[in-house]
Amino acid sequence: MEGMLYKWTNYLAGWQPRWFVLDKGILTYYKSQDEMQQGCKGSVKMACCEIQVHGTDETRLDLIIPGEQHFYVRGATPADRQRWLVALGSAKACLADSKNHQKKEESEDTLRTKMSELRLYCDLLTQQVASVKAAGSSEMVPPDIEKLNESSSLLSATCDTFIMTLQDCMKLAKESFIPNINNMDISNTVLPPSTPFSDKKKSGVQRSISVEDRYTPHSTTKLGVTTRYRNLEDMAARSTPRSRPTSRTASISSQEGVQAAIASTPNNETKRSLSQPTTPTVQETPVVVNGASPSSTMEARVPTFFSELSAKFSDIQVPPDNSIPTQPFLDACTCIVGVFDALSPTAFAPVKMDVNGNIRKLRQKLSSDPEMFMKLQAMVQQEVRTKTTQVKNSATDALMWLRRTLEFIQEFLSEILTGERDMNLAATNAYGRTLKKYHGWVVRGVFALAAKAVPSMEYFLQFLAVHKEDAERQDFESIILADLKECVGGLAKLTAILKDHYETGGLESEEIV
């Protein structure tokens, strides 16, 4: 690919047009297309640099070689920048995939060779051990010492060689099965399979609930062990500790839960209490669960990103006519945008900008007549009556695209709830079921790059912890899943109402952007 881009030169000359050529993963620029024969002014290998989209300038992107050099370039239009962004990102991804594929093939070939050697040494070791046993169990008394010495002379050397080869095989196997996580920040500890957060080292990373400031990347990229679960129940069961008290809210408000808790304390008072009726109020029942009363368990509820949101979709009250209150809905949308910071604040920056832009349009519509537009559907109906649904920046169009993005978030979180541990696959599946059919090849390419930057499940869950020490709890994953389920339930109800309203009124657009 080649074309003209504006490059920042200095404060005196400012932005100057330069001719850029992208070929075989190397971006080269010349003073002009006519002066290409005079040689390039500079070049950068895409595999060595990072691509960053500017937060406010829709035509600018930055190419950064960490610790060395920065290239600031601008396209003539936002669409021009998008084309270059897709081309540069694809070149970078292809180089990384090719390099990793080649390295993986070399490792697999070496592993096969070592495995063949290991089988050879194993057979040799078996033969030598059999020879020693045969010499020691012969009918001759005493045994033939010369024959024993001959049989065991190479046994020690064979054992040493066998162990060294086995260690090499283990090392190669470990390297071969580590997933590719280029440009991804991972926790810096090795995690046991059954307790994903129990051994994490404490770090100085501070977290808050702020949508804008939640992303704090780590500086190291060591890998943790990934534990796969088949379903939500298995995930919750393996994350819940068996022998020590948990600060997760105990489910003992029902009759069965109270009886089960009492049965674990074999004394006369608790036995007598089994025959007495229990009330649904936990505080009135003198039950002790693993040494902690229900009231103390309730007080120790672990806060998460979803539970601490100031506005939640699950809290929105929808009347029988399915009219959705505008202000609570927009507040909940503003809060949920922070989930993109957990995926990748840089890669998903265009998505966040689009969502925030649609929210801003709806807020402007609401401010024009707060009483008339107290319900979302009232905004749409007003534009239907005035025949302004197709005009630029209409509330109808903004609400439609906002709903589609919320459907993507809903499907992505649903993938996690069903037990999907591969975040890249979860994001790709959710995108395919929601936004993909409305996007052209340029936007699809941008999302493909964003999906590659999605972190591991462990880091995603760690981000959702309000207090970093909570992520070390054995039951933290089950707590997160419970909050996810509540969020998905609220989202699904509201998006279904909005989608039905658009389809019934013939307002759903199939236009591809």
Per-residue model confidence (pLDDT) at position 96: 61
Please indicate, yes or no, whether residues 386 and 352 belong to a single structural domain of this protein. Answer: yes
Please indicate, yes or no, whether residues 127 and 267 belong to a single structural domain of this protein. Answer: no
Is residue 42 scored above 90 in pLDDT?
no
Per-residue model confidence (pLDDT) at position 140: 61
Q: Is 240 exposed, middle or buried (0-12, 13-18, 19+ CB in 10 A)?
A: middle
Segment 296-323, tens digit of pLDDT: 443 457 888 888 899 999 999 999 999 9
Residue predicted with more confidence, 16 or 240: 16
Residues 6+ apart with CB under 8 A from 242: none
Give me the CATH number covering residue 61: 2.30.29.30
Residue predicted with more confidence, 280 or 389: 389
Residue 29 and residue 7 in contact, taking contact as beta carbons nearer than 8 Å: yes
Segment 367-384, tens digit of pLDDT: 999 999 999 999 999 999
pLDDT averaged over every residue in the chain: 74
Please indicate, yes or no, whether residues 385 and 257 belong to a single structural domain of this protein. Answer: no
Q: Is residue 333 part of a domain?
A: yes
Number of domains in the chain: 4
Question: What whole-number distance in Å separates Cα of residue 293 and Cα of residue 289?
Answer: 6
Q: What is the mean pLDDT of residues 124-144?
A: 72
Residue 155 and residue 128 in contact, taking contact as beta carbons nearer than 8 Å: yes
Beta strands in 46-192 (DSSP E): 50-53, 60-65, 69-74
Residue predicted with more confidence, 181 or 124: 124
Is the alpha carbon torsion for 126, 132, 137, 138 positive or negative? positive
Residue 59 and residue 78 in contact, taking contact as beta carbons nearer than 8 Å: yes
Top mean pLDDT of 129-143, 285-299, 351-365 is at 351-365
Per-residue model confidence (pLDDT) at position 105: 63
Residues 6+ apart with CB under 8 A from 365: 373, 379, 395
Q: How many angstroms separate the first and last alpha carbons of the chain?
A: 22
Please indicate, yes or no, whether residues 65 and 109 belong to a single structural domain of this protein. Answer: no
Q: Is residue 57 part of a domain?
A: yes
Top mean pLDDT of 139-153, 211-225, 469-483 is at 469-483
Asked if the bond preceding 142 is cis, omega within 30° of 0, the reply is yes
Nearest CA-CA partner of 132 in 154, 160, 152: 152
Domain boundary among 44, 76, 108: 76
For helices 326-336 and 376-386, what crossing angle results, to 10°?
Answer: 110
Domain boundary among 176, 200, 220: 176
Per-residue model confidence (pLDDT) at position 213: 40
Per-residue model confidence (pLDDT) at position 445: 79
Question: What whole-number distance in Å separates Cα of residue 394 and Cα of residue 392?
Answer: 6
Please indicate, yes or no, whether residues 273 and 311 belong to a single structural domain of this protein. Answer: no
Segment 229-260, tens digit of pLDDT: 334 344 344 444 433 333 333 333 334 443 44
Q: Model confidence at 104, in pLDDT bands (50, 70, 90)?
A: low
Nearest CA-CA partner of 5 in 26, 25, 24, 31: 31
Helix (H, G, I), strand (E, B) or coil at 217: coil
Q: What is the mean pLDDT of residues 124-132?
A: 78
Please indicate, yes or no, whether residues 208 and 253 belong to a single structural domain of this protein. Answer: no
Please indicate, yes or no, whether residues 170 and 309 belong to a single structural domain of this protein. Answer: no
Structure tokens at 306: 């979803």
The DSSP 8-state label assigned to residue 325 in this structure reads B
Q: Is residue 21 part of a domain?
A: yes
Residue 307 and residue 377 in contact, taking contact as beta carbons nearer than 8 Å: no
This prediction's pTM:
0.45
Helix (H, G, I), strand (E, B) or coil at 407: helix
CB atoms inside a 10 Å sphere around CB 91: 21
Per-residue model confidence (pLDDT) at position 176: 60
Please indicate, yes or no, whether residues 239 and 257 belong to a single structural domain of this protein. Answer: no
CB atoms inside a 10 Å sphere around CB 352: 19
Q: For residue 277, what are the domain limits?
A: 249-299
Segment 425-461, tens digit of pLDDT: 999 999 999 998 888 877 887 787 788 888 888 888 8
Residue predicted with more confidence, 186 or 36: 36
Is residue 330 scored above 90 in pLDDT?
yes
Segment 408-431, tens digit of pLDDT: 999 999 999 998 889 889 999 999
Is residue 123 scored above 60 in pLDDT?
yes
Residue predicted with more confidence, 468 or 193: 468
Nearest CA-CA partner of 313 in 129, 492, 123: 492
Q: Is residue 289 part of a domain?
A: yes
Q: Is residue 85 part of a domain?
A: no
Please indicate, yes or no, whether residues 457 and 328 belong to a single structural domain of this protein. Answer: yes
Q: Is residue 253 part of a domain?
A: yes
Please indicate, yes or no, whether residues 130 and 268 belong to a single structural domain of this protein. Answer: no
Q: Is residue 87 part of a domain?
A: no
Per-residue model confidence (pLDDT) at position 300: 58
Segment 45-103, tens digit of pLDDT: 887 888 888 888 888 888 888 877 788 888 888 888 888 888 888 877 776 655 565 66
Residue predicted with more confidence, 333 or 46: 333
Please indicate, yes or no, whether residues 399 and 258 belong to a single structural domain of this protein. Answer: no
Domain boundary among 133, 154, 176: 176
Please indicate, yes or no, whether residues 215 and 359 belong to a single structural domain of this protein. Answer: yes
Q: Is residue 162 part of a domain?
A: yes
Segment 136-192, tens digit of pLDDT: 676 666 666 777 777 676 777 778 787 888 888 777 777 665 544 444 443 433 334
Give me the CATH number covering residue 486: 1.10.3520.10
Helix (H, G, I), strand (E, B) or coil at 361: helix
Q: What is the mean pLDDT of residues 98-117?
A: 69
Structure tokens at 361: 């349009």
